[in-house]
């Protein structure tokens, strides 16, 4: 099948995307998994990795603008966590499923036989590559239109942005601000009988900020402490 024939098969997808490509090869490339190149004879075929790199930045920009507008009262840290949730592999794969992207992917037969067309990684990579392809073909306006068209499939951020992975979110925040030796967790006490202990843990970050959490295990207490500290760090300043 030549490139033009392949591109013609993608007309229904272009309708879903709301963008007709001037350069049809960009669309074909965005849908081509690196594994496709492993098939004998396909060594010279371009895969979607470079477009994925570009699309990651494009989606990051559009999702940041979306959150900046939607949450006018939230600060940088809270919006950073929300954006990471929107741009996660799981969320991108959900968007891809929403437009039936899997059936258009190009991959080797082994991957397809193993459920590759519904695999989160393949779908997320192709979705990011599509954002890169639309940007290259139509610029910011086209990419924004594409993002808006997919809004119903964008994974909605939970009311509490720290609910998914508080320890990971606290670690990300500490890295973002280059806080040394942060975060740290200290076991304060363990009370109760051996069969039902209750742990208290203090989570701390640079400049003396800390909060405590209680749990039935050390890890549970650490998660509670991280969540409490995140809320403390992002509490709106009092008038």
Q: In the annotation, is 56 catalytic? A: yes
C-alpha to C-alpha distance for 24 and 39, rounded to whole angstroms: 22
CB 201 within 8 Å of CB 212: yes
C-alpha to C-alpha distance for 154 and 56, rounded to whole angstroms: 15
Of 47, 52, 125, 128, which residue is the catalytic one? 128
C-alpha to C-alpha distance for 70 and 131, rounded to whole angstroms: 21
Of 56, 125, 157, 222, which residue is the catalytic one? 56
C-alpha to C-alpha distance for 84 and 60, rounded to whole angstroms: 9
Half-sphere exposure of 173 (CA within 13 A, CB side): 29
Cβ-proximal residues to 30 (8 Å cutoff; 6+ apart), any chain: 48, 51, 55, 126, 129, 130, 132, 133
CB 95 within 8 Å of CB 154: yes
Q: Treating both helix axes as pointing N-terminal to C-terminal, what angle do 218-233 and 166-176 enclose, rounded to 10 degrees?
A: 50
Q: In the annotation, is 239 catalytic? A: no
Helices of type H across 150-210: 166-176
By annotation, the residues acting in catalysis are 56, 128
């Amino acid at each position: 099948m030549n490139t033009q024939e392949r591109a013609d098969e993608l007309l229904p997808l272009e309708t879903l995307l709301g963008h007709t490509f001037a350069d049809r090869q960009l669309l074909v490339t965005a849908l081509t998994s690196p594994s496709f190149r492993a098939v004998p004879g396909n060594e010279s075929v371009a895969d979607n990795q470079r477009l994925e790199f570009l699309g990651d930045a494009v989606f990051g920009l559009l999702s940041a603008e979306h959150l900046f507008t939607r949450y006018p009262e939230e600060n940088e840290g809270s919006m950073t966590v929300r954006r990471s949730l929107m741009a996660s592999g799981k969320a991108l794969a959900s968007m891809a499923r929403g437009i039936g992207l899997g059936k258009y992917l190009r991959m080797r037969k082994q991957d397809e036989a193993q459920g590759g067309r519904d695999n989160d990684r393949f779908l997320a990579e192709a979705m990011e590559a599509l954002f890169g392809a639309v940007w290259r073909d139509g610029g910011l306006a086209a990419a924004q239109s594409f993002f808006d068209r997919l809004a119903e499939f964008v994974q909605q951020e939970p009311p509490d942005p720290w609910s998914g992975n508080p320890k990971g979110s606290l670690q990300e925040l500490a890295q973002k601000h280059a806080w040394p030796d942060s975060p740290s967790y200290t076991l304060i006490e363990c009370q109760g009988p051996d069969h039902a202990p209750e742990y208290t843990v203090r989570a701390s970050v640079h400049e003396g900020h800390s909060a405590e959490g209680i749990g039935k295990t050390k890890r549970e207490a650490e998660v509670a402490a991280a969540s409490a500290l995140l809320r403390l760090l992002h509490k709106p300043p009092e008038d």
